[in-house]
């Protein structure tokens, strides 16, 4: 069974982890692979490990806090300051320098994540591949490799994919698709900080 949680709203990873908690409570064996996530901003990993969930995270920092780092790491252009907003960077969770382009390490991490996922298939009743859809969209992993994993996934087991962007080839194979839509978000005003334990 293939379940998809996608959309531009907050909560896709939260839904997937909630399903892991429920399945673990029912005695099922669960595993999760985080794609393209910085371990420093993944507090979910800590509690999953405490619950003895087979959890693995792959990724590196994509957030830079100064124009100098932007120059050194080919970060995308910083958004202009809003009217009345002061220069500088958010001390809680820098938001001005976000690197969308991939480097060799990003591609290596994504390849390792997908290989880990393949090795976990036989060991898990439920396997979550968090942000895999983003990794496809960012061209870190090839769609054909993901389709191969899906097509060979045991029908009696459950596979959950999360992330923004849903290729039609994956949608056609899904048993459940839930789209989480952003209606309102505290980050919309560009002034609210991400809160540890709530946002990451």
d(CA 58, CA 111): 9
Is 141 a member of any domain? yes
pLDDT at 109 (0 to 100): 95
Are 113 and 35 in contact by the 8 Å Cβ rule? The answer is yes
Same domain, 166 and 68: no
- Look up the domain containing 135 and give its range: 2-60+102-189
Same domain, 86 and 126: no
d(CA 70, CA 96): 9
pTM of the model: 0.80
pLDDT at 121 (0 to 100): 98
pLDDT at 40 (0 to 100): 79
Task: Give the DSSP letter string of the chain.
Answer: -EEEEESSSS-HHHHHHHHHHHHHHTT--EEEEE-S--GGG-THHHHHHHTT-EEEE-----EE-SHHHHHHHTPPPPPPPPTT--SS--SSS--SEE--S--HHHHHHHHHHHHHHHHHGGG-SEEEEETHHHHHHTTSS-HHHHHHHHHTS-TTSEEEEESS---HHHHTT-SEEEE---S--GGGGS-PPP-TTTT-
Same domain, 128 and 153: yes
Is 194 a member of any domain? no
Name the β-bridge partners of 2.
159
pLDDT at 196 (0 to 100): 66
Residues sharing a CB contact under 8 Å with residue 172, sequence separation 6 or more, in sequence order: none
Same domain, 120 and 159: yes
Q: Which of residues 78, 99, 120 is at a domain's end?
A: 99
Is 199 a member of any domain? no
Mean pLDDT, 10 residues at a time, the chain of 200 residues = 96 97 97 91 87 93 55 41 36 52 91 98 98 95 98 98 97 97 74 65
Same domain, 11 and 52: yes
- Which pLDDT tens digit goes with each residue over 37-59? 888 778 888 889 898 999 999 99
pLDDT at 183 (0 to 100): 83
Same domain, 110 and 172: yes
Closest CA to 120 of 10, 31, 190, 44: 31
Is 196 a member of any domain? no
pLDDT at 14 (0 to 100): 95
Same domain, 152 and 74: no
Same domain, 107 and 162: yes
Q: Number of folded domains in the chain?
A: 2
Same domain, 80 and 51: no
Read off the CATH number of the domain in which 144 is found: 3.40.50.300
Is 49 a member of any domain? yes
Same domain, 86 and 185: no
Same domain, 35 and 86: no
User: In the chain, what's the furthest Cα-to-Cα distance?
Assistant: 56
Same domain, 9 and 44: yes
């Amino acid at each position: 069974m293939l379940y998809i949680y996608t959309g531009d709203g907050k909560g896709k990873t939260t839904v997937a982890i909630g399903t892991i908690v429920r399945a673990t409570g029912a005695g099922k064996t669960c595993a999760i692979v985080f794609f393209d996530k910085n371990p420093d901003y993944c507090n979910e990993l800590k509690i999953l490990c405490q619950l003895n969930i087979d959890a693995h995270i792959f990724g590196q920092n994509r957030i830079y806090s100064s124009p100098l780092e932007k120059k050194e790491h080919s970060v995308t252009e910083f958004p202009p300051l809003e009217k009345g907003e002061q220069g500088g960077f958010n001390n809680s969770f820098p938001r001005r320098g976000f690197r969308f382009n991939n480097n060799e390490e990003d591609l290596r991490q994504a390849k390792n994540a997908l290989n880990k996922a393949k090795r976990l298939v036989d060991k898990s009743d439920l396997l979550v591949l968090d942000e895999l859809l983003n990794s496809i969209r960012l061209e870190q992993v090839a769609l054909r490799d993901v389709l191969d994993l899906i097509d060979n996934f045991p029908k009696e087991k459950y596979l959950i994919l999360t992330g923004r962007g849903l290729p039609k080839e994956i949608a056609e194979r899904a048993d459940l698709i839930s789209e989480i839509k952003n209606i309102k978000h505290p980050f919309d005003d560009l002034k609210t900080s991400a809160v540890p334990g709530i946002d990451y």
